[in-house]
Amino acid sequence: MENPILSANYLRQLPKAEVHCHLEGCVPPSTAVALAERNGVTLPAGARVGDGRYHFLNFDEGLAIYVAVSRSMQTPEDFEAVTYESLTVGARGGLRYREIAFNPQNHPELSYDQMIGGILAGARAAEAAAGVVSRVVVAINRELGGEAAVRLVQDVIAHPHDEVVAIGLDSNELAGRPSEFVEAYDLARSAGLRLTAHAGEHGDSTEMVECLDLLKVDRIDHGYAALLDPQLLARTVDSQIPYSACWFVDEPALEVEGRRRDLAAMAAAGLNLSVNSDDPALIGPELDECFVDAAAHLGWSVEDAEKYALSGLDACFADDATVARLRAEFIAELDRLRPVAYGTNDK
């Protein structure tokens, strides 16, 4: 017998934690246009349509918009405002913890210290206003190569903050193999930073193996290509390394149904999976709508919904005391919400 349909209202209210969300992908088009006009940046046409959505036909066009939006953020106050807005908007849909990834190398007008100062100011204000806790993952732009990555990690180490918990690797997977970044990752590890990397998003399982064996990552971002490599799949099922997968995209060119099938297969295989929004403003939607869509397509039970509500905490890089506090709060909220799981299913 199929599971009864969980209420969308229940799914939106669930306490949620996500560990794969890019700050620059949280900037709504209207905000991006305002920032670009103020800072003298030209946005691609797909960011200036005026209907509240970004428009692009493929990954490369989407990445070009992402880079242009990044360039529009040029002051510490820009970073503070975007951070605050992204976290408080997420909190309306049950977000209680988010690891914010951002690319300092995509913002050459500012120093790392200026950028992180703005981000942390916005994050602290959002926690005070909306109760959402956040930590920061500093992402290496793999297109800029290994030497630039080492300089970035050195900068992060020179300006320590308790909220900055990890180093990541993103941008175009075809532009830089993980093997180019071993020195940067070794340096980050020696400084006590946790490690993650985008890998396997576009079908290459060999780079996932490099991330595991050479970079020694603690988590894999995306990772869909594991489904193409039975040995890798078995290895990561056995190790239970977290996969921070991203559920929902609503641009047809990015193969919505393919992503849904991938996550369904990954869950069925027994991978340690969390559901994340990735770029909620650029690609869409916010995490609560990802939960609604995933629950419908995967036939979640209450137990499944609660598992995925907690999975982001299981995968996160926050300190043990913070995780323990949040877990206790999540469990109390899950207990409170359980009786209304199959209530009115308002859309």
Please give the C-alpha separations between residue 186 and each of 170, 171, 179, 265, in angstroms, as whole numbers.
Answer: 17, 20, 12, 33
4: helix, strand or coil: coil
341-344 long-range contacts, Cβ below 8 Å, gap at least 24?
341/6, 341/7, 341/10, 341/302, 341/305, 342/4, 342/5, 342/6, 342/7, 342/10, 343/7, 343/9, 343/10, 344/7, 344/9
Q: Where are the alpha helices (DSSP H) in 92-171?
A: 112-130, 145-158
d(CA 40, CA 63): 20
- Tell me how crowded residue 229 is: count the other CB atoms within 10 A of its CB: 17
Specify whether 201 is catalytic: yes
Catalytic residue of the set 99, 201, 210, 306 = 201
User: What DSSP string describes 176-198?
Assistant: --GGGGHHHHHHHHHTT-EEEEE
Please give the C-alpha separations between residue 271 and each of 4, 291, 304, in angstroms, as whole numbers.
Answer: 25, 18, 14
Cite the active site residues: 201
